[in-house]
Amino acid sequence: MAKQKNAFPPVSREDMRARGIDQLDFVFVSGDAYIDHPSFGAAIITRLLESRGYTVGIIAQPDWHSVEPFRVLGKPRLAFLISSGNIDSMVNHYSVSGSRRTIDAYTEEGIAGRRPDRATIVYANRCKQAYSNVAMVIGGIEASLRRFAHYDYWDNRVRHSILYDGCADILIYGMGERAIVQVADALKSGKPVSEITDIPGTCVRVNSADDVKGAVLLPSYTEVANDKRKYCEAFNAQTREQDAVRGKHLLQPHERGFVLCNPPARPLSTKELDEVYALPFTRKPHPMYRGYIPAIEEVSFSITSARGCFGNCNFCALTFHQGRVVTGRSHASILVEAEKLTWDAEFKGYIHDVGGPTANFRHPACEKQLKSGVCADRQCIGFTPCRQLDTSEDDYVALLRKLRELPRVKKVFVRSGVRYDYAMLDRDDTFLRELIEHHVSGQLKVAPEHVSDRVLKYMNKPPHAVYERFVQKYEAINKSLGMRQYLVPYLISSHPGSNIHDAIELAQYLKQTGHRPEQVQDFYPTPGTASTCMYHTGLDPASMQTVYVVKTREEKAMQRALMQCHIRRNWPLIRKALRSADREDLIGSGKNCLVPPDYLSPDEQRASAMNRPQQRGGNATRGGGKKNARSGGRPPKRDRG
């Protein structure tokens, strides 16, 4: 047991003594239970620093009600490293309706409440109380998306950069491997943290703008907090300079100085990415945990094949965090990891996923990106794809074929999300055919998001006709292979631009296709996305034109209910929505009606519901037939940022 425990970074003074460590270089404070797996940022940063000769200890989910838990490993020699965990703590705690979640997948036994709201801020301030003269470095998704003044949905106001609220010295944004090593080396050399101001992929506080030459001056905190057009201007500048090649320094005035955001760090090369995933992860929760941590189920037998996403959906924060440049790991690196998985005692022959933010993105969108950077004002793919887009999926097909041939592997699933519009742009159907034949377990989840082209344009998603063509192709390939598998579409209600008429159009489509979603996704405004900018300002930042935004709880509930017309308790609200839109023609017993009239008796209402078109193949649309048994675990949850 002692030998196994020493394979993990220290979590106690006893661990430090066993390793002969008197004082750690870094103490990493995390809002998640500690899982030594490369799907978790704390594990990657810790193992990377260890590989560079630094000592790092972990304080996982400390009790923030007092300062003592932040002293358990003593004073770090160089810095505290602080992260809320893999998920934003506010998203982790609250649904879009504001109700408190009852499960935290990143905590032992799924128990909620083991981290505070705004965990990064709370942890940083407690660390400052514990040891006031130690450098504070914050990072992770929560810090990354709050690096500038930002609209906060939960407070319904614009908040300061988290650098100020967290009293931090340095903020590392994006994928932090390159930046953390540079910060660590600078601290080790004896450079004061106040002088470490120019590392790509970091933000710092500065007192004067005079020392930063050539920086883009953003509208100030006060301006963006009080002027929604200024908020859009700031957002546009931030996203335009989100590029490691051509991005400029950004300065945003706050009351007590300036936030200086350096250009993004260069994405890791394939070789560097391979080296990160070759670090000695145990891939297990720390043995101090006696109970089960649900998050490990999603990733135990999954493999990350790439980073970055050029999809740039407006409601997703990946562009603002990982960036648009995609880097794929080498086949050799992935095959080595897969081979290790097959020797795990719990491996049943199924690799649950091989993918990344988007499974079928394995290379940059075009050759130009690596030399000149991503285009400042053009999209790679979205409502209209770029003509220069490299649409080949040959590399991914070749990788999946190699994985299928490994001994002890029964099946390789693809569950991290497939861009159907990208697959439709490929020159042939090889990828789709092999995906359907070998890598789908009865159903494929895709994300058309809506059916209204006007709403889809606000989402930066392709027109609905593209999805319809994909559905037809999916059905045709299934039929040619003698298979019957389903499509399960992800759909969003109440996205900016969607009014009640758009919601009714979506409801009619769901009825026509026989799809009855058990759960629906209501738009969730999170920092760092274009959609959140629209939600807060009522303006489309791309055009500065007014956009319709659902703000009332009642209309949000109406749009959500319309996606579930098959649920009887929704009928009164749906009738109200239809009457408000002058669509009483959809209330009745006819085949095109969404709900029965409210004057029907309970028996007549049951009969009306029984006469509705039945969904083909369970909780799915199109493709029909009996659902195949699922093998190899649960698909990963979708993260909208």
CATH of residue 126: 3.40.50.2300
Q: Return d(Cα 242, Cα 322) in angstroms, integer.
A: 10
Q: Helix or strand or coil: residue 385?
A: coil
For residue 524, the model assigns a pLDDT of 96
For residue 519, the model assigns a pLDDT of 78
pLDDT at 529 over 70: yes
Kind and range of the H or E run holding 186: helix 177-188
Instruction: Please write the tens of the pLDDT for every residue from 318-338.
Output: 888 999 999 999 999 999 999
Residues 313 and 188 occupy one common structural domain: no
pLDDT at 374 over 80: yes
525 in a structural domain: yes
Amino acid at 273: L
Residues 314 and 187 occupy one common structural domain: no
Torsion angle defined by CA atoms of residues 141, 144, 146 and 149, in that order, rounded to the nearest 10 degrees: -170
Residue 121: count other Cβ atoms within 10 Å of its Cβ. 24
% of the chain exceeding 70 in pLDDT: 92
Quickly state the pLDDT bin for 601 (edges 50, 70, 90). Answer: low
590 in a structural domain: no
Task: Look at the block and give the residue holding tokens 């007192």.
Answer: 207
For position 454, which CATH number holds? Answer: 3.80.30.20
At 152, give phi and psi (nearest 5°). Answer: -110, 115
Average pLDDT over residues 242-247: 94
Amino acid at 147: R
For residue 626, the model assigns a pLDDT of 32
Q: If you ran DSSP here, which 8-state letter would residue 193 be given?
A: G
Q: At what angle do helices 571-580 and 553-562 cross, to 10 degrees?
A: 110
Q: Are 7 and 56 in contact (CB under 8 A)?
A: no
% of the chain exceeding 90 in pLDDT: 85
For residue 120, the model assigns a pLDDT of 98
Q: If you ran DSSP here, which 8-state letter would residue 285 be given?
A: B
Residue 236: count other Cβ atoms within 10 Å of its Cβ. 18
Comparing 39-53, 448-462, 624-638, the range with the smallest average pLDDT is: 624-638
Q: Are 393 and 358 in contact (CB under 8 A)?
A: no
Q: Are 471 and 487 in contact (CB under 8 A)?
A: yes
Average pLDDT over residues 407-427: 94
- Which residue, 525, 541, 566, sits at the end of a domain? 566
- Which residue, 183, 198, 213, sits at the end of a domain? 198
Nearest residue to 521 (alpha-carbon basis) of 352, 369, 410, 640: 640
As a whole number, the mean pLDDT across the chain is 91
Q: How many domains does the chain have?
A: 2
Residues 194 and 341 occupy one common structural domain: no
Q: At what angle do helices 530-537 and 228-240 cross, to 10 degrees?
A: 170
Q: For strand 216-217 and strand 250-254, is the pairing parallel, antiparallel, or unpaired?
A: parallel
- Which residue, 509, 540, 566, sits at the end of a domain? 566
Q: Return d(Cα 177, Cα 266) in angstroms, integer.
A: 10
Residues 307 and 193 occupy one common structural domain: no
621 in a structural domain: no
Residues 186 and 310 occupy one common structural domain: no
208 in a structural domain: no
Q: Are 351 and 338 in contact (CB under 8 A)?
A: yes
pLDDT at 610 over 80: no
Torsion angle defined by CA atoms of residues 605, 607, 611 and 616, in that order, rounded to the nearest 10 degrees: 90
Comparing 63-77, 520-534, 621-635, the range with the smallest average pLDDT is: 621-635
Comparing 114-128, 256-270, 278-292, 506-520, the range with the smallest average pLDDT is: 506-520
Q: For strand 26-30 and strand 79-83, is the pairing parallel, antiparallel, or unpaired?
A: parallel
pLDDT at 576 over 50: yes
pLDDT at 5 over 70: no
499 in a structural domain: yes
Contacts with 172 (C-beta within 8 Å, 6 or more apart), sequence order:
137, 138, 139, 143, 144, 179, 180, 183, 201, 202
Average pLDDT over residues 154-176: 96
Q: Are 479 and 471 in contact (CB under 8 A)?
A: no
Q: For strand 257-261 and strand 250-254, is the pairing parallel, antiparallel, or unpaired?
A: antiparallel
Q: If you ran DSSP here, which 8-state letter would residue 356 be given?
A: S
The boundaries of the domain holding residue 61 are 2-198
- ∠ CA 142-148-149 to the nearest 5 degrees? 105
95 in a structural domain: yes
Amino acid at 134: V
Q: If you ran DSSP here, which 8-state letter would residue 621 be given?
A: B
Q: Return d(Cα 457, Cα 265) in angstroms, integer.
A: 30
Instruction: Please write the tens of the pLDDT for every residue from 181-217.
Output: 999 999 999 999 999 999 999 999 999 888 788 899 9
Torsion angle defined by CA atoms of residues 502, 508, 511 and 516, in that order, rounded to the nearest 10 degrees: 10
Quickly state the pLDDT bin for 4 (edges 50, 70, 90). Answer: very low
Which residues sit opposite 202 in a β-bridge?
172
Q: Are 259 and 203 in contact (CB under 8 A)?
A: yes
Residues 311 and 194 occupy one common structural domain: no
Q: Are 43 and 91 in contact (CB under 8 A)?
A: no
Residue 595, CA distances (Å) to 57, 496, 559, 563, 580 in order: 58, 26, 14, 12, 15
Q: Return d(Cα 309, Cα 293) in angstroms, integer.
A: 28
Instruction: Please write the tens of the pLDDT for every residue from 431-447.
Output: 999 999 999 988 999 99
Q: Helix or strand or coil: residue 358?
A: coil
Quickly state the pLDDT bin for 605 (edges 50, 70, 90). Answer: low
For residue 215, the model assigns a pLDDT of 94
210 in a structural domain: no
Quickly state the pLDDT bin for 404 (edges 50, 70, 90). Answer: very high
Q: Are 291 and 628 in contact (CB under 8 A)?
A: no
Structural tokens at position 89:
């703590």
Q: Return d(Cα 349, Cα 407) in angstroms, integer.
A: 9
Quickly state the pLDDT bin for 176 (edges 50, 70, 90). Answer: very high
487 in a structural domain: yes
Q: Are 257 and 207 in contact (CB under 8 A)?
A: yes
